[in-house]
Structures are given as C-alpha cells and as structure tokens.
Amino acid sequence: MIRKAATQDLDQLTNLFDQYAVFYKNPSNYEKHYAYLKERLENNEATIFVACDEENKEKLIGFVLNYITFSSLALDRIIILNDIFVDSSARKKGIGEKLISKTIEFAKEIGSPDIRLRTAKNNTVAQRLYQKMGFVREDYLYSYDLVVS
C-alpha cells in the first residue's frame, strides 16, 4: 500500500531516509534528517509518499520525496522526484515502481506535465527502473551544481 506520509511516520521515515543518505555516501545523522523531514512535512514543502509492508501495514518499507517547483520554459509547475528509497529487505517486489506510479498519479492530479529526477551515474538498477517507467535520460542539457560556503 502506498499512501501520503504524515508526521506520525517521522520515526520510520527518518530511518529509511538515513539509509538513503548513507547509500549516497552521506553521513548517518538521524537527528538532522528527522528535523529536515519534519520541517518539510509541517511546512507543506514536500509531498512524501510511503510504502507500507503488505503483512504489517504499520511498517514502512520505502518512500518517495517530491518537490513542486516551476519551469519557465514549460510555463507550468513541475515535480522534482528528489529522493526514492526502498529498504533492502523489500527490494525486487515492485515497491519502487509503485512509488513512482504514485508520483505520476500526483503529477496528473495537480496538472503537472513533467516529473524530473537525477540519479548517480553508477546507479544502474534505478536507471533501468526509470527507463521502464517511461523516463527519458536528458542528453541535451547539462546539470551543474555550485557549493556555496
């Protein structure tokens, strides 16, 4: 079952988010991740969907975190699928696909014509899923980041 996250999910959601951060070579920091997610939920700054275990509906096994922003060229809202993670014990069961499908459904509900995401070049498992779901890798535009200290 996929549903919208609520503040009562924060403990489990933070545990999953912490694993996600470690996957991307960031340090584990439960307190910092908890505060970040709590602020996003309380300020309605992100839409987070969670996947529940089929046998234990109280147990979260995955999440997808989406931000709504705007595109000047599209002249419309777009969704940034910023983070997606499925617990290692629940992988290869279609959970990631269900989470992305929920994001697609959400995009249609709010009238967003575009969902964008980024992933690591070596994350080939995720890339195969994204391509299977209809995402097209952008070769026209480059992505640049600037760390501001």
Does 57 have pLDDT greater than 90?
A: no
Does 90 have pLDDT greater than 90?
A: yes
pLDDT score of 105:
97
Domains and CATH numbers, the chain: 2-132 (3.40.630.30)
- Which pLDDT band holds residue 74 (cuts at 50, 70, 90)? confident
pLDDT score of 143:
84
pLDDT score of 142:
84
pLDDT score of 19:
96
Residue (of 73, 65, 74) closest to 112 by Cα position: 74
pLDDT score of 70:
95
- Chain center to CA of 6: 15
- With beta carbons less than 8 A apart as the criterion, state whether 137 and 119 touch: no
pLDDT score of 59:
95
- Taking only the tens place, the pLDDT of each residue in 113-127 is 999 999 989 999 999
- Which pLDDT band holds residue 132 (cuts at 50, 70, 90)? very high
pLDDT score of 144:
87
Angle at 20 between CA 19 and CA 25, to 5 degrees: 95
Mean pLDDT of 93-103: 97
Query: For a pLDDT cut of 90, what percent of the chain falls above it?
Result: 86
Does 141 have pLDDT greater than 90?
A: no
User: Residue 60 contacts by C-beta under 8 Å, 6 or more apart in sequence?
Assistant: 9, 12, 13, 16, 50, 51, 52, 53
Amino acid at 80: I
Query: For a pLDDT cut of 70, what percent of the chain falls above it?
Result: 100
pLDDT score of 69:
96
| Terminal CA-CA length for the chain | 41
Q: Give CA–CA dist 114/45, Å, rounded.
A: 18
